[in-house]
Amino acid sequence: MRINGHGHVLPEPNQIPSFMKKKKLFWIDDDKKFMRQADWSRPISGPSFFIKEKLEWMNFHRIDHGVMLCLSQLYCNGWSRQDCLDGIRFQNDFNSSIQNTHPKKFTCGFVVQPLYIKDALNEIDRCVNKLNLKVLCLPTHFLNSKNEWLSIAETDVDPIFELADEYNLAVQIHPYDGDKMIALKNKYWRFHLVWMMAQCADTLHLFTLRNLPDKYPNIRTCFAHGGMLGIANYGRRIQGFDGRPDIFERLEDPRKTLGHKNLYFDTLVHDSHTLELLKKRVGSSQIIMGLDDPFPLGEIEGVGTSYPGRVLDYAVETGVFTLQESKDIWCKNVLDWIGVKQEDIL
């Protein structure tokens, strides 16, 4: 069985509430050529943005099941409380409809906004108990009431992790909004190509210093994009921890969480050398398949030599992974992360 642990699907333009377009929060053009948000836009050019095409694409590439996460544009950072409530409820209801309509094909995630903590806790209750969703999608960073950007691993967010732990949820942490956090001119796609990877590293840094995998032992957390710079700069983080103990009082040694059984990373690192480093750092059992379809930075056809699973295939060909490890990355490891038995989705 082949399971994609990191995918996305768009609603049809007429499914998006009218207030979202009116307020320029998020919408899709009627001709389905662009998705938009305020002054931002992205072409809809891939083969699997919408559900009908997604199913055809999965069938063509022999992908049996997909974990569909929330849209990053709907993390709702900077939105008013009411817009956030309405936008998040729409996203989660849409994902629930996909999962309920195609239970053998999709496990879907849901999102909450940590700024409005009571609303977030209520939404977790609703999504778990009424919508039967079990994958909580969180941004690496969020904008607090003081207009400060905080990591999702800060103590402010502990009530969310406490409830997620009570419900034995899978958690997926994904970067976005880097262009709003850093005063750099948005050129050369730098926020997607570089700063998103730094966002992963920043939250992984605090996540391990606070040892959240042991603090919340019933949660299984996956960092998108292989944790990227958080894996590459592991040695620097260790030297900093050892060299400046005055800074890290009452925090824990990051070595404790390296390869932790409840800490996962997806394969979306774009080359086999980086995937090999990820394996050396955390072990193959903690790696899940992540295609990030249908976006152009995902493993999709039509972008160079890319196709779904290309990097892992090449890593097997070059001896970085065994064939059994590859099969586990495609199936067992994803199931372990989301907490689902294979027979439940066959």
Tens digits of per-residue pLDDT, 27-49? 999 999 999 999 899 999 877 99
pLDDT value, residue 271 = 92
pLDDT at 303 over 80: no
pTM of the model: 0.96
Helix (H) or strand (E) holding 28: strand 27-28
Which two structure tokens, joined as six digits, stand for 258?
Answer: 């390296």
* Cβ proximity of 332 and 4 under 8 Å: no
- Tell me which DSSP letter residue 182 carries: S
Phi, psi dihedral angles at 156 (to 5 degrees) = -55, -25
Which two structure tokens, joined as six digits, stand for 38?
Answer: 């305020």
Which range is least confidently modeled, 57-71, 165-179, 189-203, 268-282? Answer: 189-203
pLDDT value, residue 305 = 82
Q: What mean pLDDT comes out for the span 234-261?
A: 95
Pick the CATH number of 3-345 from 3.20.20.140, 3.40.50.920, 3.40.50.720, 3.30.2290.10: 3.20.20.140
The rounded radius of gyration (Å) of the Cα atoms in the chain is 19
Which two structure tokens, joined as six digits, stand for 313?
Answer: 């295939």
Helix (H) or strand (E) holding 180: helix 178-181
Domain range annotation of the chain: 3-345
Q: What mean pLDDT comes out for the span 245-258?
A: 95
Q: How far is CA 36 from CA 32, 73, 103, 153, in A?
A: 11, 9, 29, 29
Among all chains, which residue has been given the structure tokens 């700024």?
115
pLDDT at 263 over 80: yes
Q: What is the mean pLDDT of the chain?
A: 95
| Helix, coil or strand: residue 323 | helix
